[in-house]
Amino acid sequence: MVALFTLIGGGLGAGVLLVVWGLRGSGATTPPSVVASARMKSRLPDLSHRLLRAAGAAAIGGLLTRWPVAMLGMAALGFFSLDLFAGRARRGAETDRTAAIASWTEMLRDTLAAAAGLEQAIITTAPLAPLPIRPQIQGLVTSLQLERLEPALAALADELADPTADLVVAALSLAASGEAQDLHELLTSLASAARDSATMRLKVDASRARTRTSVRIIGAVTVGMAGLLVLLNRTYLKPFDSAAGQVVLLGVVSCFAAALWWLAAMARYVAPERFLMAHTQDGQR
C-alpha cells in the first residue's frame, strides 16, 4: 500500500511536469509560441528543480495521508515553495546582477573611450567583469572566436535573461552594425538606468519585507499544524477519508493556497518584460 501511494505521488508530480512543459511550448518556429515559451521560462526558473520538489512533496503527502487532495496540494506547495518562502539571498542575487550589468556597461564605455574597438573592449573587460555576470561575459568572449558579434550578443542576452541586459545588448548590436551614433553617451545612459533599477529594487524589497515575513509565518504554521494533526491525531481528520471529505478538503486547500499566493504576489517585485527573445532553437534570431 505504501508503494502504491508513493507511485501515485510520483505520478502527480509527473503530471505537473507534463502540464507545465506543455504550457512552455514545443520550440516551434512561429514567433508567438516561442515568445510564450520564453516568458514561461523567465517566470518559472529552475523548472526541473521545481518539478522534483513537487514530485517529492506529493509522495510525502501520499505516504502520510493517502488523500489525493493532500498529494495535489503538497505537489503545488513543492512547486511554488521558493516563490512563497524565498529568502533574501535569492532576491539579492537579481539586484546584484542588475548592478553588475551597470558596472560592466561602464567598463565598456571607458574602454571604448580609449579608442579600442567594440570586440576588443569586450575581450579586455571580460576578466574584470563583476562576479555575478563574469561567467556569461567570458562565455561571450569564447563565442566571439566562433561566430560574429551580433549572434554572440544575442546568446549573451538569453543567458542573462534580464531586461536591463537586453537594453545593453541592443545598444551593442546597433554599434556592431554601425547604426549607433553616439555609443559612449548611450552606454552612459544605460548604466545610469541600470543603477536606478537596482536602487529601486532595494527600496521595494525593504518596503515589502513585512509582507514576505507574513507569508513565511502563515505558510509554516499552516503546514506545520496540518502535519502535526496527521501524525498525532489522525482520528480528528477521519471525516476527510470519505469522498465528501475530500471535496471539502479541496475547498479548504484552495482557499489557503489562494491566500498564500496573493500575499506572495503582493511582496514580489515584477520585473519588466524582456524584449529580446530567441526565435528558434537552431540559432535563427
Q: How far apart are CA 267 and CA 177, in angstroms?
A: 41
- Nearest CA-CA partner of 35 in 272, 275, 283: 275
Per-residue pLDDT at 185: 84
Final residue of a structural domain among 205, 221, 239: 205
Q: Are 80 and 27 in contact (CB under 8 A)?
A: no
Number of structural domains (the chain) is 2
Burial of residue 233 (CB within 10 Å: 0-12, 13-18, 19+) is exposed
Q: How far apart are CA 173 and CA 176, in angstroms?
A: 5
One domain, residues 222 and 252 = yes
**Which residue blocks in 114-236 are alpha helix, DSSP H?**
118-125, 134-144, 149-160, 163-176, 183-207, 209-232
One domain, residues 81 and 215 = yes
Tracing cell 516568458 back to the chain, one arrives at 39
One domain, residues 198 and 217 = no
One domain, residues 141 and 187 = yes
Tell me if 213 is assigned to some domain.
yes
Per-residue pLDDT at 183: 77
Residue % of the chain over a pLDDT of 70: 73
Q: Which of left, alpha, beta for 155 (phi over 0: left; psi -120 to 50: alpha)?
A: alpha
Tell me if 142 is assigned to some domain.
yes
Q: How far apart are CA 200 and CA 55, in angstroms?
A: 37
Question: What's the half-sphere exposure (Cβ side, CA atoms, 13 Å) at 36?
Answer: 14
Q: How far apart are CA 62 and CA 3, in angstroms?
A: 10
One domain, residues 81 and 110 = no
Per-residue pLDDT at 137: 92
Per-residue pLDDT at 135: 92
For residues 281 and 64, the model is more confident at 64
One domain, residues 148 and 248 = no
One domain, residues 62 and 143 = no
Tell me if 107 is assigned to some domain.
yes
Final residue of a structural domain among 188, 205, 222: 205
Per-residue pLDDT at 36: 46
One domain, residues 30 and 79 = yes
| Residue 66: partners with Cβ closer than 8 Å, 6 or more residues away | 1, 5
Q: Are 119 and 201 in contact (CB under 8 A)?
A: no
Tens-digit pLDDT profile for residues 136-173: 999 999 998 888 888 899 889 888 888 888 888 888 88
Tell me if 145 is assigned to some domain.
yes
Phi, psi of 147 (to 5 degrees): -150, 175
For residues 127 and 218, the model is more confident at 127
One domain, residues 160 and 260 = no
Per-residue pLDDT at 22: 53
| Residue 245: partners with Cβ closer than 8 Å, 6 or more residues away | 239
Per-residue pLDDT at 14: 54
Tell me if 50 is assigned to some domain.
yes
Per-residue pLDDT at 159: 87
One domain, residues 79 and 214 = yes
- Segments forming the whole domain that contains residue 180: 95-205
Distances 155 to 141, 170, 281 between C-alpha atoms, Å: 11, 12, 11
Q: Are 37 and 27 in contact (CB under 8 A)?
A: yes
Tens-digit pLDDT profile for residues 20-76: 455 444 433 334 444 444 444 545 557 788 888 888 888 888 888 888 888 888 888
Tens-digit pLDDT profile for residues 223-261: 888 888 888 888 888 888 888 988 998 998 888 888 877
One domain, residues 77 and 113 = no
Final residue of a structural domain among 205, 229, 249: 205
Tell me if 282 is assigned to some domain.
no
Per-residue pLDDT at 134: 92
Residue % of the chain over a pLDDT of 90: 7
Q: Are 3 and 63 in contact (CB under 8 A)?
A: no
Tell me if 283 is assigned to some domain.
no
Tell me if 281 is assigned to some domain.
no
One domain, residues 198 and 229 = no
